[in-house]
């Protein structure tokens, strides 16, 4: 017989747990399974190690042409938990944060 999911299980089916819950003060962190823009940006930064702001803008522009989306640096600022930003001689360099590495590794492990 097939297993019937409860309502809560059904709603959480498409979520990945990125960080486990330890106490009520530190709840678990979840992200959506399906986010093609996030996957491509995280993969791009992961394979290069770190990228400058100009390289990231160029990548977003190229990705927009391919997919027809309107992704901007505003998306990067809104999802800043996935990135660390360092100034290297006046140039902003983006690399993956601890959360960014976790999300990328979880997504590649399920595919």
Query: What CATH number does the domain containing 84 carry?
Result: 1.10.10.10
Cα distances (angstroms) measured from residue 50 to each of 34, 56, 71, 82: 24, 10, 19, 13
DSSP state of 46: H
- Contact criterion met (CB below 8 Å) for 13 and 31: no
Examine residue 15 and state whether it is found in any structural domain, yes or no: no
Per the CB < 8 A criterion, the answer to whether 29 and 17 are in contact is: yes
Q: What is residue 1's predicted lDDT score, i.e. its pLDDT?
A: 46
Q: For 19-30, what is the mean pLDDT?
A: 77
**Residue 106 belongs to what domain range?**
34-110
Q: Is residue 29 part of a domain?
A: no
For residue 27, being part of any structural domain is answered with: no
Say what percent of the chain tops pLDDT 70.
Answer: 86
Q: What is the pTM of this model?
A: 0.77
> Does 11 map to a domain?
no
**Where is average pLDDT lowest: 52-56, 71-75, 91-95?**
71-75
The predicted structure's pLDDT at residue 50: 93
Q: What is the mean pLDDT of residues 53-61?
A: 94
Our count of domains for the chain comes to 1
pLDDT category of residue 108 using cuts at 50, 70 and 90: confident
| Cβ atoms 52, 87 nearer than 8 A | no
């Amino acid at each position: 017989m097939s297993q019937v999911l409860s309502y809560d299980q059904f709603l959480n089916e498409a979520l990945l747990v990125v960080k486990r819950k330890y106490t009520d003060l530190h709840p678990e962190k979840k992200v959506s399974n399906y986010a093609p823009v996030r996957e491509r940006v995280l993969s791009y930064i992961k394979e290069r190690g770190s990228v400058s702001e100009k390289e990231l803008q160029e990548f977003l522009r190229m990705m927009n042409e391919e997919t027809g989306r309107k992704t901007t640096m505003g998306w990067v600022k809104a999802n800043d938990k996935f990135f660390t930003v360092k100034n290297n001689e006046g140039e902003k360099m983006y690399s993956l944060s601890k959360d960014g590495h976790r999300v990328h590794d979880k997504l590649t492990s399920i595919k």
